[in-house]
Each structure stands twice: as C-alpha cells, then as structure tokens.
Structure 1
C-alpha cells in the first residue's frame, strides 16, 4: 500500500466515519462529502463509482429499497399497519416485553423468508404505531427488530445478500443454509430475547389505562380502504413470490420490487407524487455515498490488502482459521458494508478452502457468513437494515443516534459471535 491514493482513501473513509459517529453533521452530508472526496483525490472515478459491479454504487440495493418503500407507502394508506399494531398488542395482552418478544420472532422469521431490509420496511411502521398506542419509546423496539432481522437473515440463502454471494461462489444450496445455519439462528434469537429483556428493562412499563383502551379496540375498524388493501396485498404477495423464486425466474430482487411498485401505482387510485413522497430519499443518498467510499477502498487495493492479511494469518489451520475468519469478518462488517466485504473475501476464502483439501463440511464458508451477517449488528451503519430503520425513525421524529444503537449492537454482536464460535468448534471439530 505504497500508493498515496490508498492512504488518502483510508484517511477520507475514517474521517467520514468519525463525523458520522460524532453526529456533528448529518450522516447523509458526511457520506456524500466523503464520496465527493474519494472522487476528488482519484481513489475512484465516475466510471467505477456509477457503473462498476465490483466497486460502484450497488443499484440493486438502491432500487430494491425504493421499490419496497413505494409499496409500503401505499399500504400505509389502507390502515393495515394500524390493524397489525392493534392485533399484536392484544395478542400480547399489552405487556411491553411480550410485545417486543413477539415482534422479534416475527421479524426474524420474515427476514429468513424475505430479506432483512424488506422485513424492517414492513415491520417498522407497525412498531411505531404499537409504541404510540402503549406510550412507549420506539427506539428500543426498533433496535431490537433490526438486531433480529440480521440474525434471522443468517438462517437462509435469501435472508441476507452476503449469503447469496457465498452460495454462488461455494456451490451451496438453500437447504445447505437451512441445515447448517438455521438451527444456530433459532438459538441466537432466543438469546437475543433474553438479552433484550436485560438491555431494555427500563422500557417495559405497563400502563393499565392504555392497555385497557387498546384491548377494547376492534382492529377491523382500522382498515380505511379495503379495495386498496386487497390490491396492495396481492402485489406484495407477488413480490414476495418473486423473491422466493429468484433461482427459477432469475429476476434480481430490485427488478421484482420495481415491477411490484409500478404495478401497484398503475392499478390503484393513489397519486404517484404521494407514493414517491413516502420514499426515504436521504437514506438512499446515504447508501450511495457509502458505496462510493467503500469503492474507493476497493479500487485502491485497501480491502484486498486486508483480505490477504487475513489469509496469511489463517494459513492452513482450518480450526483456527475459521475462528479468525469469523472474528475478523464480524469486526470488519461493523465498519464497512458486508456486501463488498464478502465479495472481496469470497475468492480468498475459496483459495483457503482449496489449500485445505476442499474442506467438505464448508466450515470456512459458514464462518464467513456468520461473521459478515452478525457483525452487521455492531454499529448503526453495519448493515443495510440498520440504516433503513434509522432513516424511518428520524422521519417519524423518533431519532436513534449512532451511539444509542451501537452501545446495544456491540453487546448483541459480541454475544452472538461468541456463541457462533462455540457452535462452529463443537459441530465441525469437537464432535466431528
């Protein structure tokens, strides 16, 4: 890393990261400013930033988010989220901890079947309404759901984008992920619920009067536009089917989401301007800035150097190597987006696996997946779902600061990664 561009890119990236952490300026301004500096110093260029699949803006993520935000915006007008909020609170007898546990489980299961970003887009509006009804702060519930979405997304091939990259490179199937990672993911969700009971214990204040008021409500009365609701749910079901059938249809999730959003706007009576007004444009701009900054680190070889350093540290020791890969991936995924990290580490991991004679149990790949997916919980910008929920919270005047999220995320990440290390060691080495 003798090229001055590499060192300049590192300075820009960590300088921008420091600004985001300090919250001295808005995170969107920091990310776009950092992206501009990466372009200005020549760490990347317009072709790489806007057109490169390896180091440019991931337009699939941007347009997936935009399409799903439009669909959610239409569904919000039907009263569906009010219905779900009342229904869930009544089933939990309006007990705050029970409500959180229910939302955590629903989020985790949905994240495994869909993907974590789509799930939080659907669950967050319900959560905000639940907290409003119960007179509770929304931040603890939203944070718990984000953590659950990243853990639940670990369980399947489609739950988190890094898993798709790993599956493609390693030749793994949907069932492989179910057999090897879903059991651990289920255990980690139980652990998350227990940890949240401790972390957010001051939040669980039961208000008898509010509880009585909610228990007296009839959730069906919340539906204001039944025809629009049916249209929205049919389109959402088609979109979900498109996500699940990706291996057959070969349509990217972004294409499916945009087709769904366009169809819903076309068949409904909702004004296009109203739907576009529901899109979290600052969140999309923040993602674009992050992608360009990370692209600068990729183009200057910084991330490749880190990957090679990991490979040198691992050597031919499969047991020790899987632990190093798990820990390093968790740490790095809390700082840089896990998608470009996994894209960079996948060929390195393949070389390691080949050097170890093929490693038929795929433990190195599971270590990479667990580290990248669970490490995203460490900071407020460690995973796409985190950034999306922070944007939704800010839009609804329930802002969550970088440190407010991170102080809880670090605890959960440490616990889940340590448990994952024990799982890998027991299943693939001690009991093999």
Structure 2
C-alpha cells in the first residue's frame, strides 16, 4: 500500500460509509464529499477518477442508467405502468402475498435477460402503483424485488454487470452462465419467495374494499397515449434484443440504452426536457461519488492488498479456496459496490485458476460470480440495483432507510450464500 495515503483513503471511506449508514447526511452528499476528499488527499486524481477503466467512474453503468431512465420516463407518460399494475393485481386476485410472488418471479426472470438495473427501473413504478391501489407499504415489495433482481441477474452473462467482467476475463459464454448458474438462480428465487412470506408477513394486509375497487377497474382505460406506447414498446424490444445479443453485436449495454433513448425521443413528440426531468440525477451523482471513492482505495493499493491476501490464503486448495472466495466476495461486495470489486478481483482469480491448471469454466470463477452477485443484497449500497430502487422510492415519497433494507438483506444474503456453498460443493467436488 502507498503509505499514509492508503490509511487516509481508508479513513475517508470508513467515515463516509458511516455517514451513509447513519443517514445524518444524505447519501449523495456523503458520497460526493468522500469523493472530493479522495481527490484532495491525492488518493486518486482526475485521470484515474474520470478516465481509468480500472479505478475511475464506470461510465458504462452511468450511461446505461441514464438511457434506461429516459426510456422509462417516456413510457410513464403512456399509462403503461398503470395498466400493468391493474393487470397484476387482478391476476393475483388482489391478495398481497400473491402480488409479491408475481412481482418477485417476474423481476427475477426479467433480470436474467436484461441487466438487473434495467429490470428494477421498469418494475419499480408498477410496484409503487400496485401498493398505492391496495393501500400497502411499498418498501417490502421494493426490497423483495431488488433482491430478486440480484438473484435472477446471476443466471446469465448479461444479468449482472460483474458477470460481464468475469466473462470477459475468463472467456466464458452466455451458455456457460446458463449451464452453471441458472439452476442455482431458480432454486434461490424459490427460497426468496418463502423467506418473503416470513420476513414481510406484517405487510400482507388484505383491504377488501380497496381490492374490490381495483378488481372493478378496466386496465385498458389506463392507457393515455396508444401511439406513444407502441413507439416506446418497439424501442424497448429493440433495446432488450441489443442486450441479449451482446455476445454477437459487441455493443455495450450503455451504448444500446443511449441509442434506444435517442431513437425514442427522435420518433416521438415528447419534449426532451420532460424526459430529462424524469432522470434520477441524485442516483447518478451517488454512483459517481461511490466509484471515485472506491477508485481511491484501488489506486492506493488497499483493495489490491486485500485481494492478494485472499489469494495467498487460498493457495492451491480448490475446495477451501472456492469457499473462501465465495464467502469473502459476498462480504466485500456488501461493503463496496460489486462492480469495482470484481474488476479488481478478476485478474487475481485468473492467476489462481491458471496456477491450479483450470479452464475458463473453473469453479473459482463461479465462486467469484456467486459471491459478488449475492453479496450485493447484503446492504443498501451493495449493488447498483439497490441504489436505484432507493432513489426511486425516495423520489416517490416512500423512502427506504439504509438499515431498513440492510436488516433484510443480511438475512437473505446469509441464507442464499450458505445454500450456494452447498451447491458449489455438491456440483464441483462431490458429484463431479
């Protein structure tokens, strides 16, 4: 590590993290303040913060969010989300737990095809409307969905940003992720549904009068602008196709999202200013600050030192190493965003795999992917989807505190990571 700057960077990160947890300062202000301090102490600089792929702001994430927020902003004006909310409630017979199960399953499945951030951007507005119609607290439903998005996103190469980084470094394909991680993702989604029944049982209050009102509604009447809806859905389908065909087209999801947003604004009559007004700018600013702070830890060698210590502890022990990598990745991805963590850990994992004589589909890669993806559920800032949902909830006056999310996230993470450890042990060491 780089002497005093390393310790100063650790201090800045710990204090900032403490402020985010305590919520004494808004998380956006805390993150931007922490980023400013990292720059001030020289832990990072402008080139590293704004132009480095390794330790700077991940502009692919920022612009993916920007593009999808703009598309969602246009779709909101069509009445599509009101339509889907009424449709979902009627199919679930307005029973709160059935509604949650439906939304969780849809979110998990969609997150496997889209990235999990895009999925929650589309599902969260529907959820807020459903909860408003049925007079239910939105927080339990949003928390359950974001956890489902992280679990479902684990199933495919495009489902969670860390998977793309791992695939690139290990030479893994879309089908590799399907074969190795999709079965586990399905099992854990079922487990999550069962856990939700217990964790959020107080939220499942059935209001008969509200339910009757919604059941009497005609969802088609919610559509305000059919022409704009058709335009929006066509563009959305093209964007989804671009995401799924990433291995063939080689367009980054951020580029696809921006192209889709630009096309939709160009062919529709919606004012650009109105669309930009729907963007969650505080969320984007929070991400930028968080990336710069973590970049400071990378540049000063802190994260590298942690990763090397982990590698030294693993040695050539495949079973012990995969379990340590799985659990350590889950813990660290709950503290720092899992994207920069995986970016730092991927080359070290590659060296480990090579030293063990393994191929691209070596168990160590799956341990890293599982730990990073599931560990993102542990805290409110562990994964990109978590931060996005908290921003949406706050904007809609349904704020979710750091601890409100984290007290459920920790339980879900412990259970899912433990079950994943059993899966890894059985599949790659016992039944192999």
Q: TM-score category by the smaller chain?
A: over 0.9
Residue 394 of structure 1 and its aligned partner are, at CA, apart by: 0.2
Aligned residues: 432
Residue 360 of structure 1 and its aligned partner are, at CA, apart by: 7.2
Q: Which residue of 1 aligns with 2:174?
A: 174
Runs of 4+ in 1 over 3 A off after TM superposition: none
Preserved contact between residue 160 and residue 373 of structure 2 (Cα < 8 Å):
yes
Q: Does 1:74 align with 2:74?
A: yes
Q: Does 1:333 align with 2:329?
A: no
Q: Which residue of 2 aligns with 1:165?
A: 165
Q: Which residue of 2 aligns with 1:138?
A: 138
Preserved contact between residue 335 and residue 381 of structure 2 (Cα < 8 Å):
yes
Distance 1:242 1:357 in 2: 35
Task: After superposition, give the CA deviation of every residue in 1:240-281 in whole Å (9 maximum; x if it has no partner).
Answer: 111111122221111111111111111111111110000000
Task: After superposition, give the CA deviation of every residue in 1:96-142 in whole Å (9 maximum; x if it has no partner).
Answer: 00000000000000000011000000000000000000000000000
Residue 427 of structure 1 and its aligned partner are, at CA, apart by: 0.8
Q: Which residue of 2 aligns with 1:274?
A: 274
Preserved contact between residue 167 and residue 173 of structure 2 (Cα < 8 Å):
yes
When structure 1 is superposed on structure 2, of 377-386 and 343-352 the one drifting more is 343-352
Q: Aligned ranges for residues 284-363 of structure 1 at < 5 Å?
A: 284-358=284-358, 362-363=362-363
Distance 1:304 1:155 in 2: 28
Distance 2:32 2:387 in 1: 15
Q: Does 1:12 align with 2:29?
A: no
Q: Does 1:265 align with 2:265?
A: yes
Distance 1:158 1:361 in 2: 17
Q: Which residue of 2 aligns with 1:115?
A: 115
Distance 2:212 2:360 in 1: 57
Residue 2 of structure 1 and its aligned partner are, at CA, apart by: 5.5
Distance 1:63 1:2, change over 3 A: closer
Distance 1:70 1:360, change over 3 A: closer
SS of aligned partner of 1:378:
coil
SS of aligned partner of 2:112:
helix
Q: Which residue of 1 aligns with 2:57?
A: 57
Distance 1:352 1:56 in 2: 25
Residue 304 of structure 1 and its aligned partner are, at CA, apart by: 0.5
Q: Aligned ranges for residues 28-427 of structure 1 at < 5 Å?
A: 28-358=28-358, 362-427=362-427
Q: Which ranges in structure 2 are unaligned for 5 or more consecutive residues?
A: none
Distance 1:387 1:95 in 2: 28
SS of aligned partner of 1:370:
helix
Distance 2:398 2:388 in 1: 13
Residue 351 of structure 1 and its aligned partner are, at CA, apart by: 1.1
Distance 2:346 2:46 in 1: 26
Residue 172 of structure 1 and its aligned partner are, at CA, apart by: 1.2
Distance 2:167 2:361 in 1: 14
Residue 359 of structure 1 and its aligned partner are, at CA, apart by: 5.5
Task: After superposition, give the CA deviation of every residue in 1:116-170 in whole Å (9 maximum; x if it has no partner).
Answer: 0000000000000000000000000000000000000000011011111111111
When structure 1 is superposed on structure 2, of 168-177 and 21-30 the one drifting more is 168-177
SS of aligned partner of 2:17:
helix
Q: TM-score, normalised by structure 1?
A: 0.99
Preserved contact between residue 31 and residue 289 of structure 1 (Cα < 8 Å):
yes
Distance 1:2 1:73 in 2: 45
Preserved contact between residue 176 and residue 361 of structure 2 (Cα < 8 Å):
no
Preserved contact between residue 361 and residue 428 of structure 1 (Cα < 8 Å):
no
Residue 349 of structure 1 and its aligned partner are, at CA, apart by: 0.8
Preserved contact between residue 333 and residue 372 of structure 1 (Cα < 8 Å):
yes
Q: Which ranges in structure 1 are unaligned for 5 or more consecutive residues?
A: none
Q: TM-score, normalised by structure 2?
A: 0.99
Distance 2:277 2:360 in 1: 50
Distance 2:246 2:156 in 1: 14
Distance 1:361 1:431, change over 3 A: farther
